Amino acid sequence: MIPYFAGRIEQGWGLEMGSRTPPSDSHLLPGPLQRPAPDYFRMFYADTALSGSAPATQCGLSYFGADKVLFASDFPFDAEGGCYLVRETIRALDELKLPAEVRAKIDHDNVQAIIGRRRAG
């Protein structure tokens, strides 16, 4: 949902944060962010568990970048015990006709990098 609501996040946590808070409740507001809110959201890792939606997958890739997207399918939570969502996620990725290096990042390289960092850290 973050890529889809990026404009609202920027508006709400940037331009308007606290603008409608009564002065008596101003102590409830967090301090100012050190960076723009979207910078923090782009630090997240996203996955492809979108029930096979190629447009939603492209939206996530555009927002987070290929280095921050991981293959996922919500396995086994579908009527076929996981087969449907795996198949549809692969179909959506295939439909995007991504460059081989981007597809490799999504399919395995990114998760291997995360696991490698955890083991080393």
- Measured CA to CA, the distance from residue 51 to residue 106 in angstroms comes to 16
CA–CA gap between residue 58 and residue 96 (Å, rounded): 7
For residue 13 the two structure tokens come to: 């946590």
Q: What is the pLDDT of residues 21-69, one digit of tens each?
A: 888 988 887 777 788 888 889 999 999 999 999 999 999 999 999 999 9
pTM: 0.81
Distance CA 29, CA 65 (A): 31
- Domain segments of the chain as ranges: 33-120
